[in-house]
Amino acid sequence: MTIQIRRATVPRQLISLVPMIDVMLILLVFFMVTSTYLNLNMIPIVDRVDEAPRANNTANGSTLLVRIGADGQAYLHGQAADATTLSQLVAVRLAAEPLLSVVILPSSRATTQALVSTMDTLTRAGATRIRLMQLGRTQ
């Protein structure tokens, strides 16, 4: 007669996910509270009262004003200018005046896409000093 001895099997201990989930939720709340989701200072805006007189100073270079109408069309010196014409005119001015500052004045009805397209055209033409001017808002 043989005797068989069996060892008692120790049940596996389950790893609880609850503490990990608690830590993840605390981290989520922490990052939500400390993060900035909207940076309003990404596009520099020229203040009409303070910055406008200094923009025309010859030591800083000259200023070119580009208006964007309600239809999304860019206007330079009161004349409508498509993207190619605007790019060529800005490139010629930049060749003559490397410190040229371009100020964009969009209409309150102009779309954001028109503004971005105009800024893209100016950047491709070589303009590096691009400012956005905002007129006073009426509420």
Residues of the domain holding 116 = 62-133
- Listed in sequence order, the DSSP H helices in 16-82 are 18-34, 51-55
Question: Does residue 81 sit within a domain?
Answer: yes
- In this prediction, residue 113 carries a pLDDT of 92
Closest alpha carbon to 104 in 125, 88, 122 = 122
CATH value at residue 111: 3.30.420.270
Mean pLDDT by 10 residues, the chain (139 residues): 78 84 94 73 53 45 89 90 92 91 90 92 92 70
CA distance 24 to 34: 15
Q: Is residue 21 situated within a structural domain?
A: no
pTM: 0.55
